[in-house]
Amino acid sequence: MPVLRIPTPLRAYTNGQSTVNVTGNNVSEVLTDLTKQYPTIKPHIFNEDGALRPFVNLFVGESNIKDLQGVDTPIKEEDKVMLIPSIAGG
């Protein structure tokens, strides 16, 4: 099962969990599963039109999905997906 790693600022919406086991064949499905498990995280990741907010970065392994196929990037069972926060302060 793919694993989604959650950054510190979003753990308030995942009951403090730093990793979440998710299901899905691509990034979009994985994120949909995340928001089903933890609905309050949704407005932090998606805008009102249902698109990813522009500053949200997702990595599959070492690669940013912006350099792959965006939210259509395929996800394998053993993949680790990372949601990356912006850089704050100083």
Q: Which of 73, 76, 47 is nearest to 58 (CA)?
A: 73
Q: Which of 81, 79, 84, 23 is nearest to 53 (CA)?
A: 84
Are 58 and 84 a contacting pair, CB within 8 Å?
Answer: yes
Binding residue (CB under 8 A) for another protein from 14, 32, 47, 80:
47
- Residue 55 engages another protein in binding (rule: CB under 8 A): yes
Indicate the burial class of 15 (C-beta count within 10 angstroms; 0-12, 13-18, 19 or more).
exposed
Instruction: Report the nearest approach of another protein to the CB of residue 87 (Å).
Output: 4
Query: Which CB sits closer to another protein, 9 or 25?
Result: 9
Instruction: Report the nearest approach of another protein to the CB of residue 46 (Å).
Output: 12
Footprint of another protein on this chain (CB under 8 A)? 5-10, 12, 18, 44-45, 47, 53-57, 66, 82, 84-90
